[in-house]
Copies of this chain bind each other. A is one copy, B any other.
């Protein structure tokens, strides 16, 4: 799947991923009204609203972008119907040729991690049938439990050619509380980064590994260090835009080949119509506002990369 991600990135010349993290407050009134008319003010109604919202944005942007990153929490909050909307979104984006990064931040031990890996990246055996539960292409994973929490994911990746982005340094203000603490003079995130590099070696594609890392855009100095610690890993970079990360700060997350990183924006794209800059589109043309925001983001990052 890392090969497909690279191929899609080259085809679109877009080192970005759109975070499909729908909140009810982002969904324009007419879509909500229609969903409630059909399903009532229920979890089904909410799920229908966010699915229609997603679909419109995907239709309007899929020719420009290599990948999407649905954040499962935003669907899980609407219970079973919400997770059905997640699954529909995954399937639809795959049909459109997009790489789907399931932002699920799962992580457990042994057979439990194996179950999560099967759920999101693999298959499950039921009697004589082999079935696909959710079927994302990549999943984000939490490393706090160590190698035997990660290994079952690696095994599924090797078998299914799927990929991981392991949390190394997250974009939030208090990420340093544990991640920055010094262990033998080195911050914990660097230790985790070294492990990622080790795990990455066991799952190589052509030039890059199936095993990547998450490093927040909000910590560019650390991104620069981690780029070198994990040379074969793609870095998934959250925190651009809304959280404060700027394009000029992100150039060091990329390798010389212009690859090795992919920058996420969620509300900056999907709720673009709510920004002053894109207000002219109006709520009824929210998806076109998202398209324009995608174009602007690609230009912003490519411009920074050309001038580094």
Contact = CB atoms under 8 A, between A and B. Distances in A.
A200 to B, nearest CB: 16
Interface residues of A, number: 73
The quantity of this chain's copies bound in the complex is: 2
A302 interface: no
Interface in A185-210: 188, 191-192, 195
A74 B27 CA distance: 33
Contacts of A129: 41-42
A126 B41 contact: yes
A80 B82 CA distance: 10
- Between A46, A84, A172, A184, the greatest number of chain B beta carbons within 10 A of the residue's beta carbon is seen for A172
A179 interface: yes
Given A144-B142, A146-B174, A172-B146, A74 B115 contact: yes
Contacts of A176: 146
Given A23-B111, A73-B112, A111-B23, A145 B174 contact: yes
Interface of A: 21, 23-24, 32, 36, 41-43, 45-46, 71, 73-74, 76-80, 82-84, 87, 105-113, 115-116, 118-120, 124-129, 131-134, 142-149, 167, 170-179, 181-184, 188, 191-192, 195
